[in-house]
Structure 1
Amino acid sequence: MLIISNKASLEFKNFLTDQNIDFIETIDNPNLDKRIADHPDLSIFVIDSDNIIVAEEVYPYYKVKLSSKNLIKGSSVFRKYPKDCIYNLFTFKDFYINNDFTEKNIERSLKERNYKHLFVKQGYSRCSIIPLRESLLTSDYGIYKALKDKVDIILLENDKIELDGFDQGFVGGTCGLVDDKLVFTGDISRHKSFDRIKKACDRENIEIIYPETSLTDLGSLICI
């Protein structure tokens, strides 16, 4: 099941239904900038298949929506950077990728599980990364430079991505990995680096799927 933005288009929701992918929609986090308050990856972090950490202000909503999971009430987020992105990190193999402002419950849980911290300057590290099973893709050169000698990472070109109220969105905020499918919110085939993305997915036997709508940063699709 996916957690998707409450701003997702009807076309995208219908697409997920046609693909037999279950989903729930987010609730806005009142402490965040209204333009991105709907983004799943700014209020929720999945530790593992059973344990999920959720920002305090939206915890009651997800406690009901995700009643079969063990939800842990996390710290509050705040409007200004970097306290708006303390949930916006990514785990890959035995690493977690983020700057130094990780939410305290997430950081403690990951360290208890022996994850090692790979530091990057980018606070929106999850938004900036397309996750595959064995490799990562990013258009953020700082992330690429920090990780290229540590993990298999591919640098993508920057291209126009819609993000409500902003000039530019993040490529990682347009997608999510669901089993053997990489799901995008819109037509990724028009992206300048689509051939690189497809080649990386083909190498890992991952299918790219998307509706034929505009590619939009709605926050990373969270699979639970």
Structure 2
Amino acid sequence: MLIISHKSRVEFVKFLEENNLTYIKTIDNPNLDKRIADHPDLSIFIVNKDTIFIDNSVKYEYRKRLLDKNIIPGESVCKSYPEDAIYNIYMADSYYIHNDFTEKNISLYMKAHNIKHLYVKQGYSRCSIIPLGEKILTSDFGIYKSLKDKIEVILLEKEKIELDGFDHGFIGGCCGFFDNTLIFNGNIEKLNSFEIIKNEADKSKIKLLYPKSCDLLDTGSILCC
């Protein structure tokens, strides 16, 4: 099941239904800036398909929708950066990428399971990354510089991504990864880095899935549980 923003474009929601993909839509987190309160990756962090950390302020609503999941209540976010991004973490099998403002219960989980912390300055880590398993793609040069000698990371060109109420959004806030499939909420063929993304996905034998009927929109990372 996918978790998508309730602000997702109609065309993207229709695309999911046409591809028989089940989903739930987010609710706004009252503690976040209203422009991004709908973003899944600012209130929810999925460890695996069974275990999910969710901001204490919105946990009850999601418990009603995710009855078969082990939901662990986490700290409440704050409106200002970086405390609004304590759930905005990228996690692979052996490491996670974030700054030092990780939600405390998630941080304890990582330590208990020997999942290495790869530090970056960018608090919106998940939003800044296109996930490809143990390999990542990013247009954030700070992330690239910090991690290029530690993991396989591909630097992308800067893109003009729409984000409600802001000058620009993040490419990672338009996509998600599930079942060896990288899904985007708009037409990636218009991106400057389309060929790079396509080639890296092909190398990793990962399927690309996206609607051609609408442009990309940063509504927070598409989560899968």
Asked whether the two chains share a fold, i.e. TM above 0.5, the reply is yes
Q: Say whether the 8 Å CA contact 2:27–2:38 is kept in structure 1.
A: yes
Q: Which residue of 2 aligns with 1:170?
A: 170
Q: Say whether the 8 Å CA contact 1:47–1:110 is kept in structure 2.
A: no
Give the deviation of 1:21 after TM superposition.
1.0
SS of equivalent residue, structure 1 residue 182: strand
Give the deviation of 1:206 after TM superposition.
1.1
SS of equivalent residue, structure 1 residue 176: strand
Q: Which residue of 1 aligns with 2:133?
A: 133
Output one character per residue of 1:153-193: Cα deviation in whole Å (capped at 9) or x when no partner.
Answer: 10000010000000100000000012122110101111000
**Counterpart residue identity of residue 220, structure 1:** S
SS of equivalent residue, structure 1 residue 162: coil
SS of equivalent residue, structure 1 residue 195: helix
List 4+ stretches of structure 1 deviating above 6 A.
none
Q: Say whether the 8 Å CA contact 1:31–1:79 is kept in structure 2.
A: yes
Q: Which residue of 1 aligns with 2:103?
A: 103
Distance in 2 between residues matched to 1:164 and 1:47, nearest whole Å: 28
Compared CA separation, residues 119 and 134, structure 1 to 2 (3 A): closer
Output one character per residue of 1:43-87: Cα deviation in whole Å (capped at 9) or x when no partner.
Answer: 000122211000011101111110100101110001001110000
Does residue 33 of structure 1 match 2:39?
no
Output one character per residue of 1:23-46: Cα deviation in whole Å (capped at 9) or x when no partner.
Answer: 000000000000000000000001
Q: RMSD value over aligned CA atoms? A: 0.8
Equivalenced residue count is 224
Output one character per residue of 1:91-149: Cα deviation in whole Å (capped at 9) or x when no partner.
Answer: 12311100000000110111111101100000000000000124100000000001101
**Counterpart residue identity of residue 10, structure 1:** V
**Counterpart residue identity of residue 216, structure 2:** L
Q: Say whether the 8 Å CA contact 2:4–2:25 is kept in structure 1.
A: yes
Q: Which residue of 1 aligns with 2:203?
A: 203
Q: Which residue of 2 aligns with 1:223?
A: 224
Q: Which residue of 2 aligns with 1:118?
A: 118
Q: Which residue of 1 aligns with 2:187?
A: 187
Distance in 2 between residues matched to 1:126 and 1:163, nearest whole Å: 15
Q: Which residue of 2 aligns with 1:57?
A: 57
Distance in 2 between residues matched to 1:180 and 1:70, nearest whole Å: 23
Q: What TM-score, normalized to structure 1?
A: 0.98
